[in-house]
Structure 1
């Protein structure tokens, strides 16, 4: 049977279909199928990959027993940024493909240019720019006062040309800025389309695996904040990182969404300065810039991000609703979980908020993904509801169950120790997380139920 000339790929899940249809049968999403023109499978085609099998050699076709695989530590290359290395899981792994996404102006190109310029003093790096000219990149490097000697630049969008140059230069790190501007001559579609993004990333990733080169890709994001392009792109790469931060904020957060060589819940914090991105050694200090006078509804909680605790402030505002359906607005936490916690507060805390508008915000733009913020959220809501400020030296963490019990959270001792380092003197924690010997100068209040926490206030 002859190979199909085109296929239809779902941009959400990557499922392929021979005909167009309104709804994807795999993920049940509507109007997500895009036509992909397939290249003919002739020898030497860059899209098929048959012409580049020579990179790996014959050893890739040998069968090896799993017990005979060498378990020695894979050497990692430092990115010169401790926060970047933390999110990567310890550094750049040779032969890996890393996708860095973010909104326009977040600092993706700035971060990679700073990394490339510093590493180029000791390692072979090729920086490929498809969106900017060489003079624009040079002006940015001069403005950021970066060492420009040693970094090899290439302004090109053809993947075939890039692979030919990379094969000749044999770099240790290859930077592609950005994958949406790359194109293969065998694919009859415009750059940035589903077919071009998928096949270009596949060809570059195949080269990186076969030559043991670190591949760094810059990716655009859609309106809803997800990485643009087909979903299969996330399956081909080894690490997917997202650089977040609004244009009105000087701080940027780097979070791992996928990482085959480390944890995916690590968080790196950077500050955007005139000299580019600068890593923040102590993220808790920037998230705790509070007012001198304590206001009702403000409370500090300890969240766990990857391998370290971070202290952040949560603010709640409860006001009488003028609408028939009171609003529940949450920024930084799950809005559905806020509604559930308010129901628990009504049933097991005796405080009714059904006729009140509840607004919740996590200061600093941090997104809290774990359940250890439950108790702090409820106590902040109670503080605003009763218009009574909580003690400034109080810190809270703990998960709240549907029956009103306070459940323990991981790494409770480390959270309490981090709070004590920042001068907090009181802590309300789950009883299972209470240490036998609390830190000097800190009073730890262990609670079992929500009612116990309300009494402790």
Structure 2
């Protein structure tokens, strides 16, 4: 018999090596190589002829100009925010991975989706972490319709595929991929080999049968998806459900999507009867106190296809340490240090003797640079202990030379702010509209010094 070969796979980037080494040469991470047993290849007889027959018997070269451009059919997941992040809905034959911290609501979201979809489509929900009675009790507690939903408590991929072949569901839900295992592999469930091979087999089944595959994935302590990085390359969409146990709001963000944009954001509220979508996120992120306070300012960020108004808070305090602290929650800490240097150089305000704390209200993570100007003005407000007007909204990117750069979709941001009752806006000059919305006073600036004077 042919001897089984052994390879070593990096759990961070998926690179393979013939022998173990302390550091991955590809991603430069330490102690990430895990042993993987490779099954011996079967003899096919006449390697050259078989390869030619395999590659040329059914494959045909097609000119790109004649490829059918028919739009991919979609159907709704019954959640508008879920559909938004997916790019418009679920696509038959697609594989979607939903990750998140324990308690974020992954199983709750998929159970609500499954129960509602089961009223009009065939859904098979496979649970490998809970018993059927536990899932039934959760569905009863959430007051969900349970008629028509097919359940299976199983961790063997072979048994799941046999059941799916018999049931022929439209949607197959696996909760979770870390508990699945293949009989041919000797490694334990949750290992590199089991997670990668199980996902590959399930994805191949979804493609061949035009089934929507929804996988639940665990995350590590630093917030990344557990298991091999190559898992993200097999699937069509990777979504991350974020939200701490101390907050009732959850954000669903796309990290990869072959059928839509990856910068969409869906917002949910965790209530007594499960997750409820928030159709107007700006309303919940703008629940400000009645009393004016220094260091508080509203900015307009762009998430996917819509603007969202969020509040940024800054607190400056005289440092008691040799090196002042720079703490940013919801923003890039390195960019905060850079903006403070710009404020000193081009704004004439020194913060080297101050601890700077920055927070984006509501747990939102701001990834774009349009928050630069709002961050600096909030810092100035806290430094001088002077509250900013409640009706003021700000956005704009700040360059290293102190210039205020334009940001995409400036007109839509101003209109969204006007809808929520804001009457004054400080924006980059290139984003200033020719005609401002009724009741909105738009102040266009080119330099950081002009923005400071406008306050």
With normalisation by structure 2, the TM-score equals 0.96
Distance 1:336 1:219, change over 3 A: same
Give the counterpart of 2:211 among 200, 210, 213: 213
1:374 matched residue in structure 2: 372
**Which ranges in structure 2 are unaligned for 5 or more consecutive residues?**
45-55
SS at match of 1:376: helix
1:250 matched residue in structure 2: 248
Q: Is the aligned partner of 1:160 residue 2:130? A: no
For residues 325 and 343 of structure 1, what CA distance do their matches in structure 2 show? 15
2:446 matched residue in structure 1: 448
Number of residues paired by the alignment? 444
For residues 274 and 3 of structure 1, what CA distance do their matches in structure 2 show? 56
SS at match of 2:96: strand
Deviation of 1:68 after TM superposition, in Å, equals 2.2
2:291 matched residue in structure 1: 293
SS at match of 2:158: helix
SS at match of 1:148: coil
SS at match of 1:416: helix
1:64 matched residue in structure 2: 62
Distance 1:431 1:320, change over 3 A: same
1:77 matched residue in structure 2: 75
For residues 5 and 102 of structure 2, what CA distance do their matches in structure 1 show? 35
Alignment of 1:432-447 (within 5 A): 432-447=430-445
SS at match of 1:254: strand
2:11 matched residue in structure 1: 11
For residues 6 and 127 of structure 2, what CA distance do their matches in structure 1 show? 30
1:404 matched residue in structure 2: 402
1:128 matched residue in structure 2: 126
For residues 82 and 313 of structure 1, what CA distance do their matches in structure 2 show? 24
SS at match of 2:297: strand
Q: Deviations over 1:386-415 (max 9, x none)?
A: 000000000000000000000000000000
Alignment of 1:210-289 (within 5 A): 210-289=208-287
For residues 160 and 43 of structure 1, what CA distance do their matches in structure 2 show? 24
1:345 matched residue in structure 2: 343
SS at match of 1:105: coil
Alignment of 1:290-439 (within 5 A): 290-439=288-437
1:50 matched residue in structure 2: none
SS at match of 1:24: coil
Deviation of 1:43 after TM superposition, in Å, equals 8.9
For residues 354 and 223 of structure 1, what CA distance do their matches in structure 2 show? 33
Deviation of 1:292 after TM superposition, in Å, equals 0.3
**Which ranges in structure 1 are unaligned for 5 or more consecutive residues?**
45-57
SS at match of 1:270: strand
Distance 1:211 1:63, change over 3 A: farther
Alignment of 1:83-98 (within 5 A): 83-98=81-96
Q: Is the aligned partner of 1:29 residue 2:29? A: yes
Distance 1:59 1:384, change over 3 A: farther
2:49 matched residue in structure 1: none
For residues 380 and 4 of structure 1, what CA distance do their matches in structure 2 show? 62
Q: Deviations over 1:351-394 (max 9, x none)?
A: 00011110000000000000000000000000000000000000
For residues 62 and 82 of structure 1, what CA distance do their matches in structure 2 show? 39
How big is the alpha-carbon RMSD for the aligned residues of Structure 1 and Structure 2? 1.5
Q: Is the 8 A contact 2:311 2:360 kept in 1?
A: yes
For residues 62 and 97 of structure 1, what CA distance do their matches in structure 2 show? 25
Runs of 4+ in 1 over 6 A off after TM superposition: none
Deviation of 1:42 after TM superposition, in Å, equals 4.4
For residues 283 and 111 of structure 1, what CA distance do their matches in structure 2 show? 18
Q: Deviations over 1:174-201 (max 9, x none)?
A: 0000000000001110000111000000
Deviates more, 1:4-13 or 1:171-180: 4-13
Give the counterpart of 1:185 among 179, 183, 187: 183
Alignment of 1:35-50 (within 5 A): 35-42=35-42
Give the counterpart of 1:150 among 142, 148, 151: 148
Deviation of 1:168 after TM superposition, in Å, equals 1.3
Deviation of 1:59 after TM superposition, in Å, equals 9.6
1:108 matched residue in structure 2: 106
Q: Is the 8 A contact 2:218 2:226 kept in 1?
A: yes
Q: Is the 8 A contact 2:4 2:39 kept in 1?
A: no
